[in-house]
Amino acid sequence: MSPVAPPAEPDAAARSFGAGGPASATLDVVALGSALVDVLSHAADDDLERLELAKGSMALVDLRRAASIYRAMGPGTEVSGGSAANTAAGVAALGGSSGYLGKVAADELGEVFLHDLAACGVVLGRMRPAPADESVEDGATGRCLVLVTPDGERTMATHLGVASTLGPDDIDESLVARTEILYVEGYMWDLGPAKAAIRRAVELAHSVDALVALSLSDPFCVRRHQREFLGLLHGEVDVLFANEEEVRLLFGSPDFDAAVAACEETGVLSALTRGSAGSVVVAAEGVAAVAAEPVGAVVDTTGAGDLYAAGFLFGLTHGQAPLSCARLGGLCAAEVISHLGARPQGDLRRLAADAGLAAVPEADRG
């Protein structure tokens, strides 16, 4: 990895405020998640079997296992990642305002993460890097090893590092107080301190009348925490993101339509993704299907759900109806799966404007 020049000091303006302007400005979305640097590489199905990784899943691994998988990977690309961070970056790419809450170490990967996210225009709030110590399991910035098979499916092995120590004291209350929607990645529910941090952030969000959005993140995560996730749908979560398998597991149903009906009974606005079949929106107005945006070729599905959430949340905070939010989410997901990596490479604002889902960017107005 090429060295990245650190900011002049830990509390420099870029780290405190990103491109978000004054500390009193309202933010569309503040995302809470595990701060990770993604290492992406192409792999064959046989490689996954040899490494004993379940295709399409996310497995938490210790530092030794992460190093072993990394050595077995082919040439890779390193980029700031993490599910919630990808969503925050997507909202900013659409021209929205977003913030991020997470934890990195004061090491090279930590600098990569902070630099990349601030450069996207995401407000970082109070994110002071923890002292780095790679001799202990949780002493370094987390990393996610992403193996992408020829069908575009991604399989992830994640070492959380210092992200696993994020707790209630790491929640920047002033940042949460500025948001319209707090977005939480379900992956974090695996960690005791992070679970307490989520509950604290949710409490703060509701105290300022902000909505709370939850992504279920991964089928294995839902299996582990089904009962708790169901409990969150009763008064704590206002918007739910899940894919087809995750929502079926959440409600213990082998049938997608039955799971959709169960979503409807909760009264929670739900956006349920189905890959090439598009998505289903469960809203107060009823249930409706939205077709997937056409894609020339699926290169890498990493970040598809994250960017779908970015588009949906941007639409929601800009007065769009749920179906338009889902269309915008599908548009963003289509862009990100057309290339390697979980961050948009095309101009999302232009794409959204061309589709009639956002205002025309100022620079393109006559």
CATH of the domain at 177: 3.40.1190.20
Residue 359 lies in a domain: no
Q: 3-class DSSP state for residue 184?
A: strand
Q: Is the pLDDT of residue 334 over 70?
A: yes
Residue 98 placed within a domain: yes
Residue 116's nearest CA partner among 342, 299, 336 is: 342
Q: Is 298 exposed, middle or buried (0-12, 13-18, 19+ CB in 10 A)?
A: middle
92-140 pLDDT, tens digit per residue, is 999 999 999 999 999 988 998 999 999 999 999 888 889 888 778 888 9
Domain membership of residue 5 (yes or no) is no
Determine, yes or no, domain membership for 355.
no
**Location of structure tokens 């780290």:** 15
Residues 6+ apart with CB under 8 A from 220: 57, 58, 59
110 CB neighbour count, 10 Å cutoff: 25
Residue range 308-337: average pLDDT? Answer: 97
Q: Assess whether pLDDT exceeds 80 at residue 196.
A: yes
Q: Which residue has the higher pLDDT, 363 or 47?
A: 47
Segment 203-255, tens digit of pLDDT: 999 999 999 999 998 898 999 999 999 999 999 999 999 999 999 999 999 99
Q: Is residue 15 part of a domain?
A: no
Question: Could you give the dihedral angle defined by the CA atoms of residues 279, 281, 282 and 287, in that order, rounded to the nearest 10 degrees?
Answer: -90
Residues 6+ apart with CB under 8 A from 250: 216, 222, 226, 229, 230, 242, 259
* Furthest C-alpha separation in the chain: 58
- 312 within some domain: yes
Q: Where are the alpha helices (DSSP H) in the chain?
A: 13-17, 45-50, 63-72, 83-93, 108-119, 173-176, 192-207, 219-232, 244-250, 256-266, 304-317, 322-336, 348-354
pLDDT of residue 22: 53
Q: Is the pLDDT of residue 14 over 60?
A: no
Could you report the per-residue pLDDT of 79-103, keeping only the tens digit for each? 888 999 999 999 999 999 999 999 9
- Structure tokens belonging to residue 90: 């997507």
Number of domains in the chain: 1
Angle at 139 between CA 18 and CA 196, to 5 degrees: 70
Name the average pLDDT for the chain. 89
Contact between residue 162 and residue 105 where contact means Cβ atoms under 8 Å apart: yes
pTM value is: 0.86
Phi, psi dihedrals of residue 211, rounded to the nearest 5°: -80, 160
- The whole-number pLDDT of residue 333 equals 96
**Mean pLDDT, residues 292-297:** 91
Task: Give the pLDDT confidence of 24-47 residue by residue, as tens digits.
Answer: 689 999 999 999 998 889 999 999
Judge whether 35 and 163 are in contact, CB under 8 Å.
yes
Give, as one character, the DSSP assignment of residue 263: H
Asked if the structure places residue 8 within a domain, the reply is: no
Could you tell me the residue range of the domain that residue 57 belongs to?
21-349
* pLDDT over 60 (residue 153): yes
